[in-house]
Amino acid sequence: MKTILSSETMDIPDGVKIKINARVIEVEGPRGKLSRDFKHLNLDFQLIKDEEGKKKLKIDAWFATRKTSAAIRTALSHVENLITGVTKGYRYKMRFVYAHFPINASITNSNTAIEIRNFLGEKKITAMQFFDRLSVPCFEVCCAKCMDSSVLFQISSVSYDTCYMQVRKVDMLDGVTILRSEKVKDELVLDGNDIELVSRSAALINQKCHVKNKDIRKFLDGIYVSEKGTVVVEE
């Protein structure tokens, strides 16, 4: 059955500028600008001013089926996330969990990438092994792991342990920064404005440290999200 009209409104706090044009919403606030495109939804977005002059966002659905009416509230929630992202920002905290092998993480690239080593003690050697003091001038070799010649290295003399070690590298998405928190052992802090990007970066880090071929009830190692909050915390 189609409901003739279903609509919902939401308050817009002061200090945030919203622009709506053709179902593309742009939000601007003290922490920056975010934009989101709702062209996959068939809804009417309007900015209205109700009595006492408060600014509100109103979403209408005409002759909507059940699923379309449900999409009204989710669109409002997405806009709410944009607004808090742009005023308070999002901070996700992750903890390293390990039983025996300390997870060794280093943050590279001016806080936009993380390299993880020694997860579960792995030392997978994936390039060709060389014997001690083999001296072969100007020998070009391509990395056996990725099989592409962009990782050519010239070797004149190589000893056993300068081979390629298993490193898990995760690049943060646009606008997300990562740092190792001081004072708390083994904690990562991801900061950003867009909740989708921050939570997806956290998920990428988590997924890089899945345990394979083992009973996961016993091998609980990994990097897990411990707290989802905002950067600016109000008391």
Partner 1 sequence: MPFKRYVEIGRVALVNYGKEYGRLVVIVDVIDQNRALIDAPDMVRSQMNFKRLSLTDIKIEINRVPKKKALIEAMEKADVKNKWEKSSWGRRLIVQQRRAALNDFDRFKLMLAKIKRGGLIRQELAKLKKENAA
- In whole angstroms, the minimum distance from the beta carbon of 44 to partner 1 comes to 6
SS3 call for 197: helix
Which residue, 21 or 150, is less far from partner 1 as judged by CB?
A: 21
SS3 call for 130: coil
Instruction: Report d(CA 192, CA 176) in Å as an integer.
Output: 5
Lookup result for tokens 């997924």: 207
User: Considering only residues 163-222, where is the footprint of partner 1 by CB under 8 A?
Assistant: none
Sequence letter at residue 184: V
Return the bridge partners of 3, or none: 64
**Residues 37, 63, 154, 214: which binds partner 1 (CB under 8 A)?**
63
- In whole angstroms, the minimum distance from the beta carbon of 65 to partner 1 comes to 13
C-beta of residue 231 within 8 angstroms of C-beta of residue 90: yes
| H-helix or E-strand spanning residue 178 | strand 177-180
Which residue, 59 or 127, is less far from partner 1 as judged by CB?
A: 59
- Asked whether position 4 contacts partner 1 by CB under 8 A, the answer is yes
- In whole angstroms, the minimum distance from the beta carbon of 22 to partner 1 comes to 9
User: Considering only residues 22-61, where is the footprint of partner 1 by CB under 8 A?
Assistant: 44-46, 60
Residues contributing to the site for partner 1 (CB under 8 A): 2, 4, 44-46, 60, 62-63
